[in-house]
Amino acid sequence: MAKRYFGTDGIRGKVGERPITPEFVLHLGWAVGHVLASHGGRGKVVIGKDTRISGYMFESALQAGLSAAGVDIRLLGPMPTPGIAYLTRTMRADAGIVISASHNPYYDNGIKFFSRLGFKLPDETEHEIEKYLDHPVSCVESGQLGKAVRVNDAAGRYIEFCKSTVPLGLELENMRIVVDCANGATYDVAPKVFKELGADVITVGIEPDGVNINASCGSTNPAALQQAVIEHGAELGVALDGDGDRLIMVDHKGEVVDGDELLFIIARDRQGNGHRNGGAYRGGVVGTVMSNLGLELAFKDAGIPFRRAAVGDRYVGELMTQEGWILGGESSGHIICRDCTTTGDGIISALQVMAAMVNSGQTLHTLKRGMTKFPQTMINVRLEERFSPEDSEHVQNAVRDVEAQLAGRGRVLLRPSGTEPVIRVMVEGDDAPQVETLARQLADIVAQAARTVA
């Protein structure tokens, strides 16, 4: 059954437009409280947020709804999404709630959830919450109302946890790094983590004002970081997104190192230097349908099994659980290291890459050259009406024609976006000009077919 409000990562949209309104979010808090009670919960939820201006409004609305349902609240303040997952577990809460729209602009916001074990909520629980949203808000007796308490040492707890994910003997002395926090939730904790491990840290994007989150900075806009790495002669740059669950890096030459390359570096380090819990790593790695073909081939050469999940870190995590593997991630930089934590964590992923550099004695630039990325072109075809490429014989014939021209040296993917009214047309192969030409031809055919339906 399709969900009305929940997408691939919680509920997200433009502030002031349903469902991202104070009234709806209050109702959502109440519904979550009732679902927790029906599951025999202890009645405690932790809430954290990123730095966008609307976070305070929605924090208050969630508090009101949860309190009306009799649930106690622990307020963490600005905190990276993976930090909230960690504190949900260690504080023995029934759930963790994150107020964030991740890499989106400040005028968007969203609400996403973690279970008591620090994982994304399963579909069944999201369906349950949506059922309670059909009921009017009620209020428990005054003596049973939930209480809200601010957790003053949340940042310190998370900083120590991040540091614990690398060996005690690992130090980053003499390593100059530039850290771009996207004026988001990591603005305070990320520089401290790297500094306390000995790195010489230069910061970018650590002055949030409520509206500058992700603005010309962070993992989706690494140009300023690339420039800073070159200017300061740094060994690497770390770009986080607004809520800190996504990571892109920059090597000492100023070249971007994306999520596929970072995942490859971490996996090869695990394979070559032994798993942190003892013994060499013999598991596989989960990517997505968008992961570069070069990553798949590099893992094949290295003898590391590889499987693709649907786009979205929750689907990556689900397939990791099914396979019993500890590594997975997306090209966008959501990287999950299950031997360290339960969800994608930009700071922890960066530490794993730095550990690989120390272990190998090699630069980030050298390590990334272990895989060769195939040229990839993706074009977004905007839709006026709902359109499924699978239902168009003309589009399917065009896809088969493109695949024939690639002659087994590439891939074609047509994927409806989960957050925008677009079809993503992706073509990948070993000949860059051919890939771009074929992608544009196929995008034109998809656009024409979509207009015909409209």
What pLDDT shows up at residue 330?
A: 97
What pLDDT shows up at residue 419?
A: 64
Q: How far apart are CA 295 and CA 307, in angstroms?
A: 11
pLDDT over threshold 80, residue 306: yes
For the stretch 185-229, pLDDT in tens is 999 999 999 999 999 999 999 999 999 999 999 999 999 999 999
CB 256 within 8 A of CB 222: yes
Question: What mean pLDDT do residues 67-87 have?
Answer: 97
Question: What mean pLDDT do residues 159-178 have?
Answer: 93
Q: What percent of the chain has pLDDT over 90?
A: 86
Q: How far apart are CA 311 and CA 318, in angstroms?
A: 12
pLDDT over threshold 80, residue 451: yes
CA-CA-CA-CA torsion for 383, 3, 418, 65, nearest 10 degrees? Answer: 110
pLDDT band for 267, please (50, 70, 90 cuts): very high
pLDDT over threshold 90, residue 56: yes
Q: How far apart are CA 397 and CA 80, in angstroms?
A: 45
Catalytic residues, by residue number, are 102
Pairing mode, strands 148-150 and 72-78 = parallel
For the stretch 329-370, pLDDT in tens is 999 999 999 999 999 999 999 999 999 999 999 999 999 999
For the stretch 373-428, pLDDT in tens is 999 999 999 988 888 898 899 999 999 999 999 998 899 999 887 667 889 999 99
> Check: CATH 3.40.120.10 for 11-152?
yes
pLDDT over threshold 90, residue 98: yes
Q: What's the CA angle centered on 88, arms 86 and 94, to 5 degrees?
A: 155
Question: What mean pLDDT do residues 119-125 have?
Answer: 91
Is 0.85 surpassed by the pTM of this model?
yes
pLDDT over threshold 90, residue 3: no
The CATH number assigned to the domain with range 376-453 reads 3.30.310.50
* CATH, domain 155-373, list 3.30.930.20, 3.40.120.10, 3.20.20.70, 3.40.50.2000: 3.40.120.10
What pLDDT shows up at residue 279?
A: 54
pLDDT band for 171, please (50, 70, 90 cuts): confident
Beta bridge partner(s), residue 288: 309
What pLDDT shows up at residue 274?
A: 57
pLDDT band for 92, please (50, 70, 90 cuts): very high
Residue by residue, DSSP assigns 180-242 as E-TTSTTTTHHHHHHHHTT-EEEEES----SS-TTTT-STT-THHHHHHHHHHT-SEEEEE-T
What pLDDT shows up at residue 68?
A: 96
Provide the terminal-to-terminal Cα distance of the chain, rounded to the nearest Å.
25
Q: What percent of the chain has pLDDT over 70?
A: 97
Whole-number mean pLDDT of the chain?
94
Question: What mean pLDDT do residues 254-268 have?
Answer: 97
Residue 90 CA to its chain's centroid (Å): 21
Within the chain, all domains assigned CATH 3.40.120.10 are found at: 11-152, 155-373
Question: What mean pLDDT do residues 112-116 have?
Answer: 95
pLDDT band for 39, please (50, 70, 90 cuts): confident
Angle between helices 55-68 and 22-38 (to 10 degrees): 40
What pLDDT shows up at residue 384?
A: 82
